[in-house]
Structures are given as structure tokens and as C-alpha cells.
Structure 1
């Protein structure tokens, strides 16, 4: 994950960890919308969420549109128009463009916002010109190692590479054919993976480059595994279940020279081990904390990454934990709710019945009314009540019939001479 986004997420996670200590029933969050501070600026029309969009406007809007479309909801034209209006003349997207009448500053455009915007617009359909222009921009900022950095000109990182691979796939492009200097995005991903030279517990994991050094990172691993599978943020639940396996470290073998599928499988094995150790979820140490706390966002990322590789059992276990424990984290947060909706989709679960909450309705409540409103989940009939009602109906019918028959006989007797 890019440094800027990572810092923002860590701060948000720290705040959410405190909220998580409160008991917030998931079912009560369906219609709740956070109240904006009196001093906070009013969010732009058409944007999902009430928070300041400076650092995540395009990201959360794209995530929301992608999740809603996947859930069968057609977003409002105003919401789609807000996103398309953020695109710069050269095709790239910034994190947020406050005044669309002013030309973009190229140094503010980034690959992550552009990559997820392409995925959202491709899913919505009818935006081929915009996605083609964005993909062309991504090609111009590809690094010589085949990868991408958050902002053009920086060193490649696995999170950005994973997002851009998804954008290329969504736009109908082959990432393997998108090379720079003879290097593909998959070549770039391999350079971030810990192979057989690492200690056994770290093998298969991906690292995030900081100060010229790779440090094992679960978020980077989830994004890289999804990317190595050539997957977007939208992953359908796999039909078969495949167990992830740690790479066999024998002479002459290392994940650094393995195929993309081998790279992804090794990363999935690392994620599975971490999820198991954490009780079906990932953890992270937030700034100022002494102990690790639940990392909801990365756990959701891991669910999608594992499902992309066919590792359904591990993905389902993690999603089940999220559905039962993420209400406080996701409440009023369009990006978080979108992650959960897409995680549910990746495991075949119903996002409208996640731990008693309707994630889709919560998400639509944070933005303009959609063109196609979310469907309300059908309520299961109470078999006992249904049976009792049927019995009473039958008894009532027989009672009325018997009274009517008695009156009929009485009338006949009175008419007899």
C-alpha cells in the first residue's frame, strides 16, 4: 500500500479500534448515517460518504460504484458523473479534484485512483473512451521493472501493481503483454516476494518497500496475490476449493522465478496461515498501540485474494468472521462497506444478510438514490406460525360449516307439517 494511503489507514484504524470496543449490533447500522461535523465542509453532490474526500474521494467513489453494480444496483447518474468528472485531460485520476474547471496538476495524479476508477467504469459499462484514456495514461507511467508506483516517478510497490493489473484486466487488456523494458507487471510482483531464502514463516509473503528494504506485509501480500491471479476487485466465488500450499524449497527452486500462479499460491499459503493464527482474521499494530488489533480492511482484501485463487474454505472462514465483527468498523464508511460487499460476493454469501445487516442498503444510504434501488432480502416464513395459522383456518372453516349445517337442519324441521 502506498505510504500516503497507509498512513491514512493506520490513523483511521486506530480510531475504529476504539469504536470497536463498543457494542454496535450489525442490524442497527442499516439506516444509520454519520452526522457531519458543524465545521466540516459539505461533501460534493453525488459523492458517497460525508467525510473529507481530499485523500480518498475517487477511491471510495469507485469502490462504492463497483460494489453496488456487483450487487445488482444501478447507481445514480449523479454518482457516476461525479467520478467521470474527476478524470484529468491526460487520462489519469487524482485522489480528489476539488475544482474540475481547473486543469489537473500531473504530480497529483496517481495510479491507485486511476486503476480503481477504470475497474468501476468498466463494470458500469458505456465508458470505453474514459477507460481507454486512463489505461493509456497508466502505460505512460509504467516503470522499467514492469510495475507502478503510487505517484509516477517513484519506485514500484506491490499494492499499486495489483490495482493496475486489475484495471488492465477490466479494460480487456492482457497484463502479461503490457511490458516496459521487457518486464511485465508479473515480473515486478516477483521482486517483492519472500522466497526460499527467507525464514519458513515468511516464505510466500510479499513485502512493502520502505527505505530500500522489504518488510513482510499482509496488505501487500493480499494485493499482490490478487494481482498475480490477474484479478480485479470483483471475484466470483470459485466452484472448486483448492488448498494453498507453501512453496517446496528444493535446490534450484525459488518463488522469484516461479510462474504467476505459483507466486499467487505461495502468497495465499502465507495469508491462510496468518488468518488461522489470528482466529480467521488478520491483525496489525496501530500507531501508539502496544498490542495488535483486528485489521478488517486487509482481512477483506485477503478474502478476495484467496477466492481469486480458488481457496474457498479459507476465504469463507475469514468472511464469516468479518460478517460477525465488522459493524463498528464499516458503519458510515463507503469504502469499508464496499470491501465487505465484494468479499461477500467472492464467497457466495449474501451481502444483504451479513450478520443481520444489509450491507448494500447501508452503502446506498451514504450516497444519492440509485436508479435501481437495492432489493430487500426475502424474509423466511416462520414454519411454526404458518402451521398454527393453517390449523386455525381449517378449524374455523369447519366451525362455520357446522354452524351453517345446523341452521339448515333447524329450518327444515320448522317447515315440516
Structure 2
């Protein structure tokens, strides 16, 4: 869960443990690489901070629409796994064993699990990855971005998606008697007051919760036991509403979170950036995540307004942001039953396929053995999950955080 800014700048600040500055509204998550990219990798920008994330989203999105990814693309992803089962954001030399300097993380690992589980035939890899994820589960039942880091809604949610993708019941994955849902419920805001019904990313230093739209979208999907490529609910009900009556359950938290998101997109059809100085700027990746969450909780009708907004406005953003952004739009189309090959006039599948090696097969005429026109599809687009995490990690000096999310994420 996501990325919409210059990831390299944010990550560099995070790595040295200083506060991340506000950055311009640039969807490109990382600069052009100085060395040749691996042939199996999707996207044309430096994969240092998002390689596994964007590759996982690209492969998962292809599988979702019936495209069989290139063997080289799948092989690149599996080759990134460390012997202990974890994944880092990117390993330039996968032939070299992982050591303490390799910064593995839960988001990259859980995203890779979701992609490989969907593709099938990778049980050994996904089992090792899930075993590692369980080994770094926090006592509150959740996960942080890095092993031992405080639990956050985004990281916990992407791990829930990995557990569900491999047939595990998230409610049964316990640490000290606490499940991932216990961690998420602790981050759910009540239905009265500011941010009613939303999820917080993490409590602040005083234990207070602040609504976060990206965390809310992730939390809704996870509370429903789904992952990045969530399915929409079978039928649309009435407008979602928030309630604190009765027992606090994942289902109630999902409904409350959906009510918050519905209110947030009711006026303009989109969510705005969470970055300082960018409050009025549309956040395409978070809006795509919100579409998935709304459809998963209440059906396609709940997501109609932000979906239509994305169909009208997201093509240019995705072209600039690359494979993970295209994947997020594919997930939005999938959750709402929208044709991803005619998404506001854009063939998302063809555009996604063009950012990497030609798929082995596809259910349409979109296969292409070329990358996108040079720098047009020139960045990878993570999720805001990444962005939110980067600010957190920067403040406490524990290293880089993805989202991202990858727009998704955007990063």
C-alpha cells in the first residue's frame, strides 16, 4: 500500500536520519539510473528504493488481468529474495548473500509474496517469506516497515494481504495473543471528532491518533482480509456510515473507514496530498487506493465518483509515474469491474506491459516487447504508504521506507 514525489530525495534524507523536507509535486520517485537496468525489471528509473515494490505490483496487476508475465520478470523478483526469506527494496548483486547491511523490509517482502502467490508455483519462496514476516511480528500483532519498528497501519495491512494471499487466516497469526486485526483496531479513530472513522498511520508521541487517508484505504482493505488486488463487494449498498455501537470488529472498522473515505472524496472526487505545502494537490495514488477500498467494502457504486475522476485525469500521472502507478489503476479497475483496457480511453494493460519485458501471453493484443517511449514511462510510482513511512523513518533515523506503495503510491 503507496510515492508521488521524488523518492530519491526523500530516501536520501531518511538514510541520514534528518527530517524530510517538503518537496515539489513531482511524480517521479527516483532519478534515471547511472547504470544499465536488469533486463527483467519493470520501469526505467533507478530501482534502489522501489525495485521489488514496483516489480511486485506490475506482476500482480498483469496476473489480475490474465496476462502471463515474462519469465525474466518473475525470475528477477524471485532472485531478489534473501536466504532468510525477506526481501529488500533492491539488491544490485543478488548473487551476493544478504548480510546485516542489506536493509530488508516488510513492505517489499509482503508485496513480493502477494505477486508470487498470485502467479503460482512459488510456494517455497512465499512460505519462507511468510515465515520471516511472522518472525518480525510485533507484540501488538502488527508490523512496522523495518523489523522491530513500531507497527503502522500501512505495513500491517500489506502483510495481512500477504497472509491472505498464501491461505493464512490473519486473525490466527498471533504474537503474544495479538493478531494483525488487534493492531489495526488500535489505529481506528472513533466516529466522533476530527477524522471520524479513519485509520491513523501510527499514534504520535503522545499516543494521539490523526486520520490518514492512505492508511485508511489500506486499513479498510486489510480489515476485510484482502490485499493489493482486492475484489469488489458483490453488491452496492447504501452510503457507508460510521458507528461506534456494538463490539469493535474488523468489519465495523472497515465500514467506518469507508465512510471516512466516501466523505473525503464527496466534493471533488479525489484525495489531496498529505505532504506539507501540497494540501490542495490531487493525490492520484491515494485516490486509486481509496477506489479499491470503497469497492471492496461496499461495491462499485461506492467508488463511482473517484473512479470517474481517475478515468478523466490519471493517464498523464501514470505515464509519468510508471509501472506501479499503472498497476494501482489496474487494481482500481479490477475492484470496480471496469475494463482496464479502456480506462477513460487508456489501455492500462498495454501501457503497463510496455514498461518492461514482453509478457509470455496475454488475453488481448497489448503485448509489446519494447519499454515505454524512453523517459515517458520513466518512473515507478510507489504508494503513499511509502511516503508516509519515509517521513516517519526520517524522523527517527532508521532508514528508508517505501509505501510506498508505492502512488502508489505514488511512492
Equivalences for 1:114-153 in 2 at 5 Å? 114-153=109-148
Task: State the Cα distance separating 1:319 from its structure 2 match.
Answer: 1.5
Equivalent-residue separation in structure 2 for 1:42 and 1:144 (angstroms): 42
Per-residue CA distance 1:79-113 (angstroms, 9 max, x = gap): 00000000000001111111112221356111100
CA distance in 1, matches of 2:154, 2:343: 27
Alignment of 1:357-376 (within 5 A): 357-373=346-362, 375-376=364-365
Q: Is 1:263 matched up with 2:257? A: no
Structural mapping, 1:200-215, within 5 Å: 201-209=194-202, 211-212=204-205, 213-215=208-210
Map of 1:383-394 to 2, 5 A cutoff?
none
Q: Do residues 104 (structure 1) and 105 (structure 2) align?
A: no
Which of residues 313, 321, 329 is equivalent to 2:301? 313
Verify: 1:232 aligned to 2:227, yes or no: yes
Indicate the structure (1 or 2) with the bigger Cα radius of gyration: 1
Q: CA deviation at 1:7?
A: 4.7
TM-score, with length taken from structure 1: 0.78
Distance 1:249 1:151 in 2: 32
1:13 and 1:338, CA in 2 relative to 1: closer, same or farther beyond 3 A? farther
1:70 aligned residue (64, 89, 100): 64
Q: CA deviation at 1:318?
A: 1.4
CA change 1:10–1:186 in 2 (3 A) is farther
For residues 181 and 69 of structure 1, the distance between their equivalents in structure 2, rounded to whole angstroms, comes to 36
Q: Distance in 1 between matches of 2:277 and 2:265?
A: 24
Shift of 1:287: 4.3
1:274 maps to which residue? 264
Unaligned 5+ runs, structure 1: 20-35, 378-417
Q: Deviations over 1:221-265 (max 9, x none)?
A: 001111100011122333210235333346xx5xxx511100100
- Within a 5 Å distance, the mapping from 1:8-157 to structure 2 comes to 14-16=25-27, 40-106=34-100, 108-157=103-152
**Aligned in 2, Cα 1:64/1:249: closer, same or farther, shift over 3 Å?**
closer
Relative contact order higher in (CA < 8 Å, ≥ 6 apart): 2
Q: CA deviation at 1:10?
A: 9.7
Aligned mate of 1:340, from 329, 344, 350 = 329
Aligned partner of residue 316 in structure 1, secondary structure: helix
Name the count of aligned residue pairs.
349
RMSD: 2.5
Could you say which residue in structure 2 is the equivalent of 1:400?
A: none
- 1:75–1:89 distance in 2 versus 1, CA, 3 Å: same
Mapped contact 2:22–2:277 kept (Cα < 8 A): no
Structure-2-length-normalised TM-score: 0.79
